[in-house]
Amino acid sequence: MKAQFIGPLVFGGMNLKVDELEWRLSESGAVKTDLEENPKKQIEDKLMSSIKCSIPTKKDSDDSDDEDY
C-alpha cells in the first residue's frame, strides 16, 4: 500500500477531473504518469505572499543596522 485515500473530498470533491486523479495517484507512487505538472491550477494566497514579501530578510536587517552606527 502506497497511500490511503478516503472519500472524494481528499481529491477535491465531486468535480474531480481524470487528469487530476491521475496526478494525485502519481504523487503517492501508485501509478506512473506522463503529466509534467499538476493540471489543477493552484490558488495563490495573496495575503501570505504579501506578508512574506514585506518581512525583511536577515541580510536586509543586517545592512540597516550597520547604517545606524
6 or 52: which leads in pLDDT = 6
User: How far apart are the C-alpha atoms of 26 and 33, rounded to whole Å?
Assistant: 6
Answer whether residue 26 is part of any domain. yes
Domain that includes residue 55, residue range: 8-68
Cβ-based neighbours of 33, under 8 Å, separated by 6 or more: 22, 23, 25, 26
Query: How many domains does the chain contain in total?
Result: 1
User: How far apart are the C-alpha atoms of 31 and 35, rounded to whole Å?
Assistant: 11
Tens digit of each residue's pLDDT (9 = 90 or more) over 4-39: 888 878 877 888 888 888 888 888 888 898 888 887
Residue 45's pLDDT is 73
